[in-house]
């Protein structure tokens, strides 16, 4: 490797209001400017937007500074991956066509410089949360998405933004560490580790930057969010670690 790999998640652009979202978007663009000279690959690991739905001829307005910066980075040769989160699971092919990003629907298993990575936004994994897991199946169902797409954008966006207003991002709730044995994504990572070795399990969704050693050679990292922490992961070819921007 000659350049770093960067991981970031849970920007939740659009929440809780336009003014705060714009300030966060500006900060994210400053971060992208900061990492660009050393970036070989960029993994955006879900909930980049607090709501996103692609109609056939309509996409949500706004976020043009972020999209422009990502397009510039992609044009310069940086490979960008966009994971569907629980807030932007309705991403289809718009970003692939316009920017060239690769869209990832679930987990992605990669190997870089001899290190194996298990990557996922983190929603729907681990024990518990049966209600969301049921809703996830409905929201990801192609027929349900097609039916929602038949609703006029003015109405559909209004419904979705109303739903989004009750999210963790809108409530500004800060998460707390609940203990390694109760961190459901760490529990899930340990289950996967019993089947196959990975050097790193990387997730978002949890809204809390975490590094948990699972074994002598395997680590769980949650890359946190950008409402409170401005946290991200950086892999230099040897070690993946958490870092913070403008903190």
CA–CA gap between residue 67 and residue 86 (Å, rounded) = 20
Query: What is the phi/psi pair of residue 66, to 5°?
Result: -65, -45
Alpha-carbon distance values, 209 to 21, 128, 135, 200 (Å): 21, 21, 26, 15
- Of the ranges 104-108, 121-125, 129-133, 151-155, the best mean pLDDT one: 104-108
User: Helix, strand, coil shares of the chain as percentages rounded to 5?
Assistant: 35, 25, 40
Strand, coil or helix: what is 187? helix
pTM, entire model: 0.89
Tokens of 56: 């056939």
Residues 5-49 have pLDDT tens digits of 999 999 999 988 899 999 999 999 999 999 999 999 999 999 999
Query: What band does 134 get if pLDDT is binned at 50, 70 and 90?
Result: low
DSSP-assigned beta bridge partners for residue 39: 4
* 209-225 mean pLDDT: 96
**Residue 232 confidence (pLDDT) above 70:** yes
**Residue 163 confidence (pLDDT) above 70:** no
Tokens of 105: 């629907």
pLDDT, position 9: 97
Tokens of 30: 């400053």
Query: What band does 1 get if pLDDT is binned at 50, 70 and 90?
Result: confident
Residues 78-97 have pLDDT tens digits of 999 999 988 887 888 999 99
Q: Quick check: 81 and 102 in contact, CB under 8 A?
A: yes
Residue 77 burial (CB count, 10 A): 8
Which residue do the tokens 């500074």 mark? 65
pLDDT, position 170: 52
């Amino acid at each position: 490797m000659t350049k770093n790999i960067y991981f970031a998640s849970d920007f939740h652009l659009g929440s809780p209001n336009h003014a705060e979202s714009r300030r966060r978007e500006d900060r994210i663009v400053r971060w992208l400017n900061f990492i660009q000279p050393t970036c070989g690959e960029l993994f955006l690991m879900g909930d980049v937007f607090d709501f996103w739905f692609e109609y056939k001829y309509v996409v949500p307005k706004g976020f043009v500074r972020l999209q422009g910066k990502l397009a510039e980075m992609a044009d310069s040769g940086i490979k960008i991956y966009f994971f569907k989160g629980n807030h932007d699971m309705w991403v289809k092919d718009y970003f692939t066509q316009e920017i060239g990003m690769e869209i990832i629907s679930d987990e992605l298993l990669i190997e870089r410089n001899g290190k194996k990575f298990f990557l996922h936004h983190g929603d729907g994994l681990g024990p518990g949360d049966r209600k969301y897991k049921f809703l996830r199946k409905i929201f990801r169902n192609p027929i349900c998405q097609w039916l929602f797409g038949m609703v006029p954008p003015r109405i559909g966006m209004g419904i979705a933004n109303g739903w989004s207003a009750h999210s963790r991002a809108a409530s500004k709730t800060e998460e707390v560490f609940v203990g390694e044995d109760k961190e459901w994504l760490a529990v899930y990572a340990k289950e996967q580790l019993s089947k196959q070795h990975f050097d790193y399990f990387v997730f978002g969704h949890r809204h809390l930057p975490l590094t948990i050693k699972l074994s002598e050679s395997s680590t769980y990292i949650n890359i946190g969010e950008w409402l409170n922490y401005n946290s991200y992961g950086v892999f230099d070819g040897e070690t993946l670690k958490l870092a913070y921007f403008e903190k």
